Structure 1
Amino acid sequence: METVRIWPQDDGQPVACQEKLRVLEENWQELSEVLTDAFDDAILMGVNEQAMRERLVALVHSLRSPKADA
């Protein structure tokens, strides 16, 4: 069963534009595949699983908002 993701905007309303939803879903799928591959590779090469998870979380927390530069 396919999960329908809700993408909230700053005002709390969900993104409704079908083209935006398509792009968001494609990006989500691509990101999921890349992260899964990187995680699997690290574990198979002997990296501690919890340490890898922590690094991935730290990566997400380090992302800068493009709005901050505007």
Structure 2
Amino acid sequence: MSLAPPASWPGVDGQPLSCREKLKVLAENHEELVQVMRDAFEDAVLMGVDEAALRRILTEMVAALPSPKRPQP
């Protein structure tokens, strides 16, 4: 499994983003997130958390993230 950032980041119009500064920020965020998730995953599994359950929990966390484009109550 590759943890490299995607080859392109699709915009809302379906076209890949091309702004160098945006791509730089996205790559940095991706790298930081991979490291934090890897550390948290390894800690949990080594402490005895079921790996499949942890993957579900992490997936649910991402799915529950609110959109910054929608006003929050």
What's the TM-score, normalizing by structure 1? 0.91
Deviation at 1:7, TM superposition (A): 0.5
Distance 2:23 2:71 in 1: 24
Structure with the larger RCO, 1 or 2 (CA within 8 Å, 6+ apart) = 2
Which of 37, 59, 62 pairs up with 1:60?
Answer: 62
What's the TM-score, normalizing by structure 2? 0.88
Partner of residue 17, structure 2: 15
Distance 1:15 1:37 in 2: 29
Aligned length: 69
Which of 24, 27, 47 pairs up with 1:25?
Answer: 27
Deviation at 1:4, TM superposition (A): 5.4
Partner of residue 35, structure 1: 37
Distance 1:66 1:22 in 2: 20
Structure 1 segments, 4+ long, off by >3 Å, are none
RMSD over aligned Cα atoms: 1.7
Q: Which runs of 5+ in 1 are unaligned?
A: none
Identity in percent: 51
Q: Which runs of 5+ in 2 are unaligned?
A: none
